[in-house]
Structure 1
Amino acid sequence: MNTKIDCRSCPNETCIIKQNALVEEAAPYLEKKLSLKAKKGQPFILEGAPVHGLYFVQKGKVKVGKTGINGKEQIVRLCHDGEIIGHRGFGVGQFYHISAVALEDVVLCNFSTDTIKEMLQKVPSLCYSMMLFYAEELNRSENKVKKIAQMTVREKVIDAILYMNRKFGQNKNLLNIQLSRKEIADFAGTTDEQVIRVISSLKKEGVLTAVGKKIGILELDKLKKEIAEHNFFLDS
């Protein structure tokens, strides 16, 4: 479903397009943007499908995944308002190397590959913003490699929970995102059985609470202290 959203009045101040929307050179390209909606559970990027531009989350939550060994899904990112999806395939190949699925009803903005390429050539401020974005992404990827190599299973699960708290926050002591135990495992790089055991242990210790699939953090400082030596408190 197409629903037009004006980038200049969009509330997402962290969105790279929004940050450059008032630049005079950007005006003609904003009109070429496609806005659409995806229902909860609906994929809007399929791994291996032809690249058709960049997506920006206008509103909602999305999981970005990649197929690993033996067909196991690895969730590589969780995204919310203002974030870019599909950037790793942009400019370097003809096919997406990731999939993207709506975790709730989401509103998306899409710029075609041709439009984005032309914008980067004609709007210097946008080109600079994208360069900084890619540099930050590279740093996060390098940190994630170190994290996977050095953390225990328990630390990986705690790190994933802290990541969700930093990104989405809590409401009434419950995280503002609902993931299944399998999805948490796919994000943490472990198994759902191990996630269940770690969460159960943390609940017994009085550090976490849970209502259905939703998790809440009762002792944030204790969780941070447990993985303090890894220094992964920055969003990654």
Structure 2
Amino acid sequence: MKNINADCSVCTNSNCFIKKHLHLEKMQDYVMQKINFSCKKGQQFMIEGAPMQGLYFIFSGKAKVIKTGIYGKEQIVRLAKEGDTLGFRGFGTKNRYLIAASAIEDTVLCNFSNEVMQGILKNIPEFTYDMMLFYAQELNKSENNVKKIAQMNVRERVIDALLYLHKKFGQSNGLIDITLSRKEIADFTGTTDEQITRILSSLKKEGLIKIVEKKIGLLDTEKMQREIIEHK
């Protein structure tokens, strides 16, 4: 990773947890201690089981969060974009990352060390309270995802994933603004490359999606939502 400068004062990520709290007293003192890195596409910046190196906030770019399952199979548990927070699941527990993360495209990261984050949490009550709410929201999302995976068939999981990608990353020129391989989609939906190829082909024939190289565009989100409405 290469050190660069990404100034919080000019950051446009309104959803960034740090950006939301820049107005708080003492916050600027801690922001001055952050470190910025740039990662190339495919570069891993968090290693599962490695000692915590603080929290990461995405300044620009996109990343995937990975958990190793049975027989060493990777499962993508989360996809992140500008403003998202990474590494929080291991923070304050065993002080080891419970997941791994790598850049999907060239990405710039803001890193707040363990010591800096502990200083913020101990000295800025409003930030600490909001962080507690953030953890509660993330736990609720995780529980809902477990329920959906248990109840949905493979086709429904793929449709749900496509709708999630559409909502989170938006569409540019009619295509979802993130490029994922068939394997990455399979790792995200808990299925195989072959099943992903077959289901995407079926959805394309039905006129629900279009495919341009590795990118996918949704053509009828309402019909896709109706197919999985009972799981919402």
**Alignment correspondent of 1:64:** 65
Cross-structure match for 1:142: 143
The one-character-per-residue Cα deviations of 1:55-105 (angstroms, maximum 9, x if unpaired) are 000111000001011111000000001110000010001321111010000
Aligned to 1:234: none
Alignment of 1:80-159 (within 5 A): 80-159=81-160
Cα distance in 2 for residues equivalent to 1:181 and 1:226: 22
Distance in 1, Cα, partners of 2:25 & 2:97: 31
CA distance in 1, matches of 2:124, 2:18: 11
SS at match of 2:22: coil
Residues 111-160 of structure 1, C-alpha deviations (whole Å, 9 max, x = no match) = 00111011011111211121111010010011011101100000000011
CA distance in 1, matches of 2:173, 2:9: 33
- Residue number in structure 2 paired with 1:184: 185
CA contact (8 A) 1:207 1:217 kept: yes
Displacement after TM superposition at 1:28 (Å): 1.2
Aligned partner of 2:176 in structure 1 is 175
TM-score between both structures, scaled by the size of structure 2: 0.97
Separation of aligned partners in 2, 1:157 and 1:61: 20
In structure 1, how many angstroms separate the alpha carbons of the residues matched to 2:128 and 2:23? 15
SS in 2 for 1:47: coil
- Alignment partner of 2:4: what SS? coil
CA distance in 2, matches of 1:7, 1:178: 27
Kindly provide the amino acid, as one letter, of the partner of residue 44 in structure 1.
Answer: F
CA distance in structure 2 between the partners assigned to 1:172 and 1:14 by the alignment? 24
Aligned structure 1 segments of 4 or more residues deviating by more than 4 angstroms: none
- Compute the displacement of 1:6 (Å): 2.3
Return 5+ residue gaps in structure 1 as ranges: 232-236
- Structure 1 position 217, deviation (Å): 0.7
The AA in structure 1 aligned to 2:80 is C
Alpha-carbon distance in structure 1 between the residues aligned to 2:14 and 2:196:
35
CA distance in 2, matches of 1:20, 1:43: 28
- Provide the residue aligned with 1:2 in structure 2: 3
User: What corresponds to 1:33 in structure 2?
Assistant: 34
CA distance in 1, matches of 2:22, 2:172: 32
Partner residue of 2:195?
194
In 2, are the aligned partners of 1:48 and 1:95 still within 8 Å (CA)? yes
**SS of equivalent residue, structure 1 residue 2:** strand
Offset of residue 214 of structure 1: 0.8
Show the 5 A alignment for 1:211-222.
211-222=212-223
Cα distance, 1:163 vs. partner?
0.6
More off after superposition, 17-26 vs 196-205: 17-26
Residues 1-10 or 197-206, more deviating: 1-10
Q: SS at the partner of 2:76?
A: strand
Q: Which amino acid aligns with 1:173?
A: G
Q: TM-score by structure 1 length?
A: 0.96
Q: 1:8–1:22: 8 Å Cα contact kept in structure 2?
A: no
Unaligned runs of 5+ in 2: none
Task: Indicate the residue corresponding to 2:227 in structure 1.
Answer: 226
